Amino acid sequence: MPAIAITIEDGPRHGRYVGRVEGIDAEAEITFTHRGPGLISADHTGAPDELRGTGVAAALVDYLVADARERHFKIIPICPYVRARYEKHPEWSDVFTTAPGEKPVLTASQIRGE
């Protein structure tokens, strides 16, 4: 299986985890929003057709979870793909704001990023 490289592009309010697969000229991503101190929302996971079946989307979620543990932040799982992966890995509950299978609700302060 080709190697998957993941990088983070992190801005003051928004960012993304970017996944690239060796030998394929395309990238997958999980976009996120800073929702307050120590809190992000995983907003969307996208992968072009060229990357389907490579495992890059799952690798991005795995990386997101590992990064949350390393950098001590929590994840609001807005993205349906991230929620679906979390349902299969309830051991990730330490970094998510909801229980597996639970749909998140954003507060007004989280929407504003406070």
Domain CATH code at residue 12: 3.40.630.30
Query: What does DSSP say about strands 4-10 and 14-21: parallel, antiparallel, or unpaired?
Result: antiparallel
Residue 108 reports pLDDT greater than 90: no
- Residues listed for the chain: 114
- DSSP label of 101: T
pLDDT for position 1: 63
pTM here is: 0.92
State which residues form the domain around 14: 4-112
Q: Model confidence over 63-103: pLDDT tens digits?
A: 999 999 999 999 999 999 999 999 999 999 999 999 999 99
pLDDT for position 41: 96
- DSSP label of 14: E
For residue 30, the surrounding DSSP H or E stretch is strand 27-36
